[in-house]
Amino acid sequence: MFEAENIRAIADKVYELKLTGDTTEIVRPGQFVNIRVIGKYLRRPISVCDWDSESLILIFKVFGEGTEILSRIKKGEKMDILSGLGNGFTVIETDKPLLVGGGVGVPPLYGLAKKLIENGLKPNVVLGFASAKDVFYKDEFESLGLKAYVATVDGTMGTKGFVTDAIKENNIECDYFYACGPNPMLKALCSELECSGQLSLEERMGCGFGACMGCSINTAKGIKRVCHDGPVFFKEDLLWK
Amino acid sequence: MEVNMKVNLSGVELDNPIIPASGTFGFGEEFKDLYDLNILGSISFKGTTREPRFGNPTPRIAECPSGLLNSVGLQNPGIDAVINEEIPKLSKYFHKPLIANISGFSIEDYAFACEKIDKVEQVGIIEVNISCPNVKHGGMSFGTSPESAAEVTKAVKEVTTKPVYIKLSPNVTDIAAIARACEAAGADGFSLINTLLGMRIDIKKRKPVLANVVGGLSGPAVFPVALRMVYQVYKAVSVPIIGMGGISSASDVIEMMMAGASAVQIGSANLVDPFICKKIIEELPIKMQELGISSLSELKPDF
């Protein structure tokens, strides 16, 4: 059981929710939790943005009824959560790591940024959003001492266009990348960045812990479940068919 | 009052009637660290076919009021990998008779896979799935006419020695007629119900939520339908029935057994609460005490 500590809007329809509870099952950035939402049958999977020994931070955008209900949660409310799901990112020691997040794909990269810094690495950060009103966590990444570049599709902040445009415009070099965001963004990164990397995928899930086979994908290493064998996969293993 | 939870399915004695349903429990791997699987009555493992299958394209899950649609489409590693890899792994932490769920796309497929699984010692019951709504050929089409259902039953009975339970589809006009035909062809029992064919549309995208367009509805939403069909089949045949469809509590278990089921399977509930089978097994004796039920196997519809 977790308890809602604080919830605040940080961008258009985007909320940052701080929870307290037993976080021992979260061991790597890129893992997710699965939240029971009153009035909905299936749980809602949300990636962990940041965590410590007794609290965690989740960021979500209101897309449908489930996230709408979640956005109205009050401080002190108890929450039924399955924690520490999925494999998460593996820290690879390289000179020029790059973090690329798109929309609600940004949150898990914040926890990863902190983990990379702990390992003495200093990644560049590129964040992509639709418009300036959607931008969040640029300041938080910069507070970690990292350079955070922004791309917006309508050009209202940073580079006009996609994350790949921001990478080109700012001549950002990288020898390894970590990414989370919509599939078209991930595909573009895989084809435009020559280096290797890790990508966190999104797929509609049933259970979130590998039992129902709802979220399977074909990979170079056979059939994998996004929830249990992922959500983070190595670039080389993705088939993108 | 002492309560007795033991039940008997065609000579296979179970410590209690609680069985995780096929397709919601894999081969136990994802649950083995959550609780001791040996508290379960049995396990009906992931639907297995002659050849390995990926299943349908994703998305293949959709939320519904009090339930979900799935169009997984029988993803499984194939009968040989199940026998050589999955069952040996499962045997390490589950020591009771298993229910082997088998699916096919032709009569020969069913017979081929059932003949193989019949030789696996730990298999107690063969559950023949003639009701998967998520595959284009075979699957449910065998379960929607009495003639083809009986044909599959007969073919499987000819090549097996273990009790054969036919898993029936609710997507039919007269489930009792199909059950009677299977019983006449030698079925030792029935499992019901499989999922109800359904569909959802994403009104923003103006497209079906499921890539397969349609899928099978399960969860508490289907419980009253399942209960009615178990009752109808109970009245039509004299072999045991494993009842399933939205069961989520000890009360649901008792209700399903009062409709004529000799044991039950828990499906969708495992997906939202991975501890649900353990909770139900712990809750069951308390509920029995409360209702003055001394033995579960005595529960029958007397109406």
pLDDT in tens, B41-68: 999 999 999 999 999 999 999 999 999 9
Reported ipTM: the value is 0.92
**A89 to chain B nearest CA, in Å?**
21
The model's pLDDT over B183-194, given as tens digits with 9 standing for 90+, comes to 999 999 999 999
> What is the CB neighbour count within 10 angstroms for residue A202?
19
Contact criterion met (CB < 8 Å) for B75 and A216? yes
Q: Is the pLDDT of residue B139 over 80?
A: no
**A182 to chain B nearest CA, in Å?**
15
The model's pLDDT over A133-190, given as tens digits with 9 standing for 90+, comes to 999 999 999 999 999 999 999 999 999 999 999 999 999 999 999 999 999 999 999 9
Chain B residue numbers with beta carbons less than 8 Å from the beta carbon of A40 are 63
Please provide the average confidence, as pLDDT, over all residues in chain B: 96
What is the pLDDT at residue B80? Answer: 98
Chain B residue numbers with beta carbons less than 8 Å from the beta carbon of A41 are 63-68, 219-220, 268, 272
- Spell out the domains of chain B, with CATH numbers in brackets: 7-55+73-195+219-298 (3.20.20.70)
Q: Is the pLDDT of residue B71 over 70?
A: yes
**Nearest CB to A41: which of B30, B46, B67?**
B67
What is the Cα–Cα distance from B139 to B129, expressed in whole angstroms? 7
How many CA atoms lie less than 13 Å away from A148 in the CB half-sphere? 22
> What is the CB neighbour count within 10 angstroms for residue B73?
23
Contact criterion met (CB < 8 Å) for A211 and B270? yes
Average pLDDT of the segment spanning B150-162: 97
**A105 to chain B nearest CA, in Å?**
19
Please provide the average confidence, as pLDDT, over all residues in chain A: 96
Q: Return the number of CB contacts < 8 Å for A and B.
A: 81
The secondary structure element, H or E, covering residue A68 is helix A65-71
Write down the catalytic residue from B114, B132, B182, B277. B132
Cis amide linkage into residue A69, ω under 30° from 0: no
Contact criterion met (CB < 8 Å) for A66 and B63? yes
**Nearest CB to A203: which of B23, B29, B58?**
B58
**Nearest CB to A214: which of B54, B61, B64?**
B61
The model's pLDDT over B233-242, given as tens digits with 9 standing for 90+, comes to 999 999 999 9
Q: Is the pLDDT of residue A56 over 90?
A: yes
The model's pLDDT over A202-229, given as tens digits with 9 standing for 90+, comes to 999 999 999 999 999 999 999 999 999 9
- Spell out the domains of chain A, with CATH numbers in brackets: 2-85 (2.40.30.10), 97-200 (3.40.50.80)
Q: Which residue does chain B place closest to A210, by CA atoms?
A: B30
Q: Is the pLDDT of residue A241 over 70?
A: no
| B132 among known catalytic residues | yes
Q: Is the pLDDT of residue B274 over 90?
A: yes
Q: Is the pLDDT of residue B133 over 80?
A: no
What is the pLDDT at residue B136? Answer: 66
**Nearest CB to A204: which of B55, B59, B219?**
B59
What is the pLDDT at residue B92? Answer: 97
Chain B residue numbers with beta carbons less than 8 Å from the beta carbon of A84 are none
Contact criterion met (CB < 8 Å) for A216 and B54? yes
Percent pLDDT > 70 in chain B is 98
Residue A240 pLDDT grade (very low, low, confident, very high; cuts 50, 70, 90): confident
The model's pLDDT over A89-111, given as tens digits with 9 standing for 90+, comes to 999 999 999 999 999 999 999 99
Chain B residue numbers with beta carbons less than 8 Å from the beta carbon of A203 are 58-59
Q: Is the pLDDT of residue A83 over 80?
A: yes
Residues belonging to chain A with any Cβ–Cβ distance to chain B shorter than 8 Å: 36, 40-43, 66, 82, 203-207, 209-218, 223, 228
Contact criterion met (CB < 8 Å) for B270 and A207? yes
Specify the pTM: 0.94
Joined tokens for residue A192: 């435009």
> What is the CB neighbour count within 10 angstroms for residue B188?
22
Average pLDDT of the segment spanning B101-122: 96
Residue B138 pLDDT grade (very low, low, confident, very high; cuts 50, 70, 90): low
Residue A80 pLDDT grade (very low, low, confident, very high; cuts 50, 70, 90): very high
Q: Which of A203, A190, A64, A220 lies closest to B57 in space, CA to CA?
A: A203
Asked if A10 and A59 count as a contact pair (C-beta separation under 8 A), the reply is yes
Percent pLDDT > 70 in chain A is 100
Residues belonging to chain B with any Cβ–Cβ distance to chain A shorter than 8 Å: 23-26, 29-31, 46, 54-55, 58-68, 70, 72, 75, 209, 219-220, 268, 270-272, 274
Average pLDDT of the segment spanning B12-39: 97
Q: Which residue does chain A place closest to B76, by CA atoms?
A: A213
Amino acid type, A37: V
Q: Which residue does chain A place closest to B75, by CA atoms?
A: A213
Q: Is the pLDDT of residue B22 over 90?
A: yes
Joined tokens for residue B251: 């009360």
Handedness of CA A167, A172, A175, A176 (dihedral sign): negative
Average pLDDT of the segment spanning A13-26: 97
